[in-house]
Amino acid sequence: MIEIKLLTGVSIEIIHNSFKRAFADYVEPFELSVSQLKYMIERRGYNEDISFGAFDEGELIGLTLNGKGIWDSLPTAYDTGTGIIKEYRKQGLATKIFNESLPVLRDNGVKQYLLEVIKSNTKAYNLYKKAGFSVVREFDYFVSKISDIKLTKNVLPNSYSFQNDIKPDWDLLRSFWDFAPSWQNSIESIQKKESNFKIIGISFEKNIIGYGIIEPETGDIPQFCIEKSHRNQKLATLLFSELLKYSKNKEIKVLNTIVEYKPIKEFMKSLNISPGLGQYEMILSL
């Protein structure tokens, strides 16, 4: 008999085994070690006391790993990953896990449930729509081998300079944004593992007017922005090139930029990077 239970006290090794099997045939298969999975879900606020698993005679055969944090000023749960092992699909387990989770989320003060779903995953999208989720934003998803990126050889103007490993003034950096980052790219997510990121600033007359953040191990670039009055001077290209110097990965990822924001599309195109599989950001009020 299959039981739906909280993941409180379940080891990361057991979670990893189930996660790996559940996502083995996914649109974008996850190839994460135990430590990499632990790092990823911790960065996204994983909370075992609001996360659920489906167990068949003690074996974890499906799961929903939920994070918790503040989103738009409200206590929010974030679906870090939901998956069912292939042999157990088409039994409605994802829906059962979801239904079991709602009262627990509410009891923990959660006011809304946030997630992202790859656009081509129509089964999951339809399940979430049926459950009452609404699409908030559509995201582009850029991934490229560093060797395929085309960078023009520009020189940083004399009035500008790079500042390595800046201590971020988040209120200042936030003022440069044209759109708010997704949950996994948020300030809160970065702060949870800030020592794992390289934060590079561009200064003008000793004032920071742009910045980029890279996670060297993964090549993930969660935030990247130039203050509006300093744009169209090739500073973004120079900053991007500077960030790549710190990547230990052969690929870089710029994930979850909003679809309607054309400047990032044009910038990525200039670097020979095309958008891949996009995502929907979806939310459910609790």
pLDDT tens column, 3-27: 999 999 999 999 999 999 998 887 6
- Read off the pLDDT band of 28 (50, 70, 90): low
Q: Assign residue 232 a region: left if phi > 0, alpha if psi is -120 to 50, beta otherwise?
A: left
Query: Which pLDDT score, from 0 to 100, does residue 32 have?
Result: 87
Tokens representing 204 are 């003008």
**Superfamily classification of domain 142-280:** Gcn5-related N-acetyltransferase (GNAT) (3.40.630.30)
Q: Which two tokens stand for residue 44?
A: 């996204």
Fold agreement between 2-110 and 142-280: yes
The whole-model pTM stands at: 0.91
Judge contact between 218 and 78, C-beta under 8 A: no
Average pLDDT score over residue span 259-270? 94
The pLDDT tens digits of the residues spanning 140-166 come to 999 999 999 998 888 898 899 999 989
Domain 2-110 belongs in CATH node 3.30.9.10 = no
What pLDDT is attached to residue 265? Answer: 93
| Cβ atoms 267, 235 nearer than 8 A | no
What is the per-residue pLDDT across 154-212, written as a single tens digit (0 to 9) for each? 889 889 999 998 999 999 999 999 999 999 999 999 999 999 999 999 999 889 999 99
SS3 256: strand
Name the nearest CA neighbour of 115 among 80, 148, 149. Answer: 80
Q: Which residues of 175-199 are buried (b: 16+ CB within 10 A; e: fewer)?
A: ebeeeebbbbbbbbbbebeeeebbb
Where in the chain are the domains? 2-110, 142-280
Position 276 scores a pLDDT of 87
Pairwise CA distance, residues 260 & 278, whole Å? 12
Chain segment 64-108, per-residue pLDDT in tens: 999 999 999 999 999 999 999 999 998 999 999 999 999 999 999
* Residue 154 pLDDT: 80
Confidence (pLDDT) at 277: 83
* Distance from chain centroid for Cα 204: 30
Instruction: Identify the pLDDT of residue 30.
Output: 63
pLDDT of residue 24: 85
